[in-house]
Amino acid sequence: MSAERDDLRDEGIARMWREHVRDEPPAALDDTIRAAARRAVGAKPQVTTAVAEAREPWRWWMPLAAAATIGAIAVGVLQNLPRDADEPTVVSDAVNAESAARARPTSPVPPAAAPAPAPMPEAVPQKKVAPPASEPELRDRTPLPMPRLQANKPDTAAKRSDAPSEAKEAFVPQPPADARQIDANMDKLKQEQVGALEKRAQPADDLARRNERDAGQSFAASPPPASAPAREPAREQKDAVDATAPAPESRAKVRAFAPPAQSTQAAAGGRAAAEPQAMAVTPPEGFVAEIRRRLAAGDRDGAVRELQRFRRTHVDADARLPDDLKAFAASVAR
């Protein structure tokens, strides 16, 4: 075929054609075609379309999900919000009547005379929405006992002008009765405390009287037992009063708050002054005389016990012993 083609080919015409016919497309057309060719293989519209289709479902449910989330949050917040005070709520008569019936027989004190408890609410406010149709009928037929919530909120009770008058009276506070009851209770408590203190001071008084007796009988030269112990209990009593007494600026409050206690403490002052006497230290001569007496009587055990007491009350008990008793003290272990 190519040989046949070469036979037809005229080299003179072909050379003339190559020399004189050199038409070529313009450069702008070349650029346009090359750019189109590059765009055709470089744009990849299939990939772009796939990405757009993949993103499309993600876009449409986003507003829906956001709206659902916001709605759920709003419903939750509204349900957790407290009810409005102006909302038409009423306490059911049946429930309060039952609770009142349960409370009346068991309460030993009438409501007016009952001691008012601490101003702590006993129960969480309970609101029950009654049917709208029966609310006015119940209110007109039976007097509503004041609920506890309204008892704790006098202003709320006062606002309800349509509440029964007896309910209002039942919850009027009575401060004079409460004050008297508190004073009575406080006096009773103070008396019990004074009695306990007297019982506790009784053995100490006995011991003090015995020491005084022993000292007066055995040693006339021994220091007067009543002088030193008399000063020390007085000082101790003063310290005790100062320690228990509040600050000067608050003493007036204490006096006004608990006057019976103050008077009770003054009455027991004499007995309290005798208590330090029981705690007075027996002089060494008293112990020495007692030990000799017991040894002379043949009561060695008693002498040993007395020596041990002497050692407990005086650190230098062995040094204070006379020479004739040091041998005995050496035989008794410390």
Partner 1 sequence: MPLRASMARPHTGRAMPDAPRARPKDEVGDDAGDEALMLAYAAGNAGAFDRLYARHRGGVYRYLVRHVGNAGVADELFQDVWMNAIKARASYVPTAKFATWLYTLAHHRLVDHWRSRGSVRIDSLDDEGDEETGALVDAIPGSRVDEPETRVASSAARERIDAALRALPSAQRDAFLLHIESQMSLAEIASLTGVGEETVKSRVRYAYAKLRSTLGDLA
Q: Are 272 and 199 in contact (CB under 8 A)?
A: no
Compute the radius of gyration of the chain from its Cα atoms: 55
Residue (39 or 159) nearer to partner 1, CB = 39
Q: Is 14 in the site for partner 1 (CB under 8 A)?
A: yes
The span from the CA of 287 to the CA of 321, in Å, is 9
Residue (5 or 83) nearer to partner 1, CB = 5
Residue 1 DSSP code: -
Q: Is 155 in the site for partner 1 (CB under 8 A)?
A: no
Binding residue count for partner 1, defined by CB under 8 A:
32
Residue (16 or 97) nearer to partner 1, CB = 16
**By rule CB under 8 A, what string of x and - marks binding of each residue 37-76 to partner 1?**
xx-xxx----------------------------------
Only segment of 19-27, 99-107, 120-128, 302-310 that touches partner 1 (CB under 8 A) = 19-27
Residue labelled with tokens 């989330």: 69
Interhelix angle 259-267/248-257, nearest 10 degrees: 100
Q: Is 29 in the site for partner 1 (CB under 8 A)?
A: yes
The span from the CA of 333 to the CA of 113, in Å, is 68
One residue of 12, 108, 175, 176 binding partner 1 per CB under 8 A: 12
Only segment of 36-44, 47-55, 57-65, 120-128 that touches partner 1 (CB under 8 A) = 36-44
Only segment of 4-12, 89-97, 130-138, 198-206 that touches partner 1 (CB under 8 A) = 4-12
Give the torsion sign (CA, 65, 71, 74, 80). negative
Under rule CB under 8 A, which residues in 74-113 are in contact with partner 1? none
Q: Are 68 and 116 in contact (CB under 8 A)?
A: no
Residue labelled with tokens 């709003």: 74
The span from the CA of 252 to the CA of 274, in Å, is 29
Angle at 226 between CA 224 and CA 229, to 5 degrees: 115
- Contact footprint for partner 1 (CB under 8 A): 1-2, 4-5, 8-10, 12-17, 19-26, 29-30, 32-34, 36-38, 40-42
